[in-house]
Structure formats: C-alpha cells, structure tokens
Amino acid sequence: MAETTNAPAASRSCATTGCGKPASMQCPNCIKLGVTEGSFFCSQDCFKSSWEQHKAVHKKAKEEAALNSGPMNCWPGFEFTGLMRPYPKTGRRTLPAKIVRPDYAETGIPKSEIKNRQSTIARCLDDEEQETMRVVCKLGREVLDEGARAIAVGVTTDELDRIIHEACIERECYPSPLNYHNFPKSCCTSVNEVICHGIPDMYKLQNKDIVNLDVSVFKHGHHADLNETYFVGDVDEESRKLVKTTYECLEQAIAACKPGFRYRDIGDIISKHAHANGFQVVRTYCGHGVNDLFHTVPSIPHYAKNKAVGFMKVGHTFTIEPMINAGNWKDVTWPDEWTSTTIDGRRSAQFEHTLLIVEGGCEVLTRRLPTSPAGSIWFQTAS
C-alpha cells in the first residue's frame, strides 16, 4: 500500500500510464529503496492498478544496489594473492542481428578451432586475406583507443567493457572475447596483479592502478587481437618501469621478426630484456596465430629456451603478447576459471600486437594511429 506524502509529491504527477493527475502518495517500497522517479501516485486505486508494471522499478533498483555493493565474497576459503577482488557484474551485452558472428557466439564452443587443433603448420594468407587482416586490425586499434580514452580514476572496468562493446557495434564488428569458451564480456580488463583475462565488473579504477585493456574484434571472417597497459593517475616508479620494460620487450621481439626467423627465439629476446631489468616472464600464456581463427598455430612462448616449432614465412599472421611480472613468473587462476593473477600478488604488465610477415620483415597490423591516445605512456612510438 502506498504511503501518503506531503511536499515531495505535490509537484509530481501520478506514475500510472495515462493518468497524469497530481500525486499525493509514494510507494513505501520505493521509499525504502531510495527511489523517487516513477514512485508517486494520485490514489490507492492508481497504485494498485499499476502494481504489476511498477514492480519492475523495484527490481531495477535492487539490481543497481547489488552492482554497487562492493567486492563479493564469491569463493569462501580461496586465498587471493593480492588486493584485487571480484565485484558484481552486469549481464551479457547484446548485438544487432546484422553483425556477423563467429561460430562460437551462441554456443561458446569454437568448433573451427577445435577441428584445427591437430594441425602444426601455420597457414600463409593470400593477398586478399592479408588485406582483410589489415582492415580488421585497424578497426581493432580504433576500438582499443576508444576504451583507452575513457580510463580514469573512478571509472569501472564494466564501463570500459560497455565502451568497447559499443565501439565494436559502431564498426559492425563482433567483440571476439564475447562467449568465447563462455567468457562473459566483450574485452578483458586486467588490473595490477591480474596478469590476463580479467573479467570487467563494477571495480572502480583507483589512483596508482595499472590496467591492461585487451581487445579483439571479428569482421569479414577474420580476427584482430591487441592490448596495452595503461596508468591510472599517479603510478609508482616500479610500476612505470615494469610497464615500460614490457613495452620494450614487445618492440624488441617485433624488430627481429622476418621470414626464416624461428618462433622459439622470440622468447630469448623477451627474457633477456625482462631479466636485465629485474623482471620475470610468464610461462603459462603465449602468443598465437590469428586469422579466420581467434587462436591457432603457431604457439609463441615468451620465455627463453622454449620448444616452439616452426619458422616465420611470408603471409603468417600471429600475435606476440609478453606478460611480464614484477616478482615471480608463476600464476594463479581464480575460481571463475578466467582471471589469472601473479602468485605473489605483485604487479604484471602486458602489450600485444597482431603481426604479418612480409618480404624482408614484418608489418604491425595493430600499430598505433596518429589519433591514438598517448596518455601517460610517454615511451610509446608509432607502433
């Protein structure tokens, strides 16, 4: 039953559709929930007649309250290695029907990748496919840049996911992470000790955080994959050095890429520079082939003395994406089966590009654009 109210209702109209009379009472549940919009009515009769419709207001308010309730105790007994915790998450975002989906969009199962797992030979893309990859990777860069521009103290990682999702829709791209092996969001946001695969949620970025934004898009039957690590506010010197060193690891690895170069030697280059600066290289995750498949051969470990097979050939497209830790190289995965963190709670950084091997070298397909936001990452070049 609605409660009779005085001044607040006097200037409001009845929320019942088609009524419009001056309100004289307010829903008691709305008062408890702190809701004002759509909570006033002119009479008990109007209130009762609108009840079924009005209950949606309560549901929305409760959902919003839950999203803003702070970190969740999802997994009693699980020992977190650092300060990051899971926060409430919004639902899976939708896309217009006109956007072409990869084969896993509905089921979560990448059937084409599974079918191709037995192959150990990287595919050389023809000229038409190479041009398609150029187009898609440029779109991927634009999408990442849209997300990067929004990074600031107080912005939730869920908001970054929304921006990325909408940027994909504007370009008629499918956000490749969405429902890939049932991943629930359109990008990955990995903060501080999270190495990779962080799930966007209601965590608000804080001053001194570092955050990796990992974006992948699918269009014209092909995927682009890239990521960067950004500073939030005034970041400490060790974190600045970690991020800068990680970027340099990627740059040095890219400089070596050319036809005939062994994939296994990428790890030697990255490890040498990381270790020289006092950091460690994550071994669990690696770079990968990317084309019409999101993840495929070759596998490209970032650590030294690995056993990767194969040589680079003209037409190969793949990622290099070193994950560098301030402390121990080992990782721990949260019970959500996605979020990977450092074993000691210290910070991790990552950068990623999609590359194309061409005569005499390689082309950075996801290179930075003249319009790409530089922010506080003073060391970044055109790539």
Q: Which residues contact 118 (CB under 8 A, 6 or more apart)?
A: none
Question: Of the ranges 13-17, 58-62, 123-127, which is most confident?
Answer: 123-127
Mean pLDDT calculated for residue range 306-312: 97
pLDDT at 47 over 50: yes
Higher confidence at residue 119 or residue 366? 366
What's the N-to-C CA distance of the chain in angstroms? Answer: 63
3-state helix, strand, coil in the chain (%, to 5): 30, 20, 50
pLDDT at 33: 82
pLDDT at 7 over 60: no
The pLDDT tens digits for 174-228 are: 999 999 999 999 999 999 999 999 999 999 999 999 999 999 999 999 999 999 9
pLDDT at 6: 40
pLDDT at 12: 87
Tokens of 156: 């939730």
* DSSP result, 292-334: SSSSEEEEE--STT-----B--TT-EEEE--EEESS-S-EEE-
* Closest to 324 (Cα-Cα) out of 256, 271, 268: 271
Instruction: Report the distance separating Cα 70 and Cα 85, nearest Å.
Output: 9
Mean pLDDT calculated for residue range 40-62: 86
Instruction: Report the distance separating Cα 123 and Cα 130, nearest Å.
Output: 12
The pLDDT tens digits for 111-135 are: 999 999 888 899 999 999 999 999 9
pLDDT at 2: 43
Give the burial class of 206: count Cβ atoms within 10 A of its Cβ; 0-12 exposed, 13-18 middle, 19 or more buried. middle
pLDDT at 383 over 70: no
Cβ neighbours, 10 Å, residue 44 = 13
The C-alpha angle with vertex 40 and arms to 39 and 45, in degrees rounded to 5, equals 110
Task: Fill in the DSSP letter of residue 87.
Answer: -
Q: What is the overall mean pLDDT for the chain?
A: 93
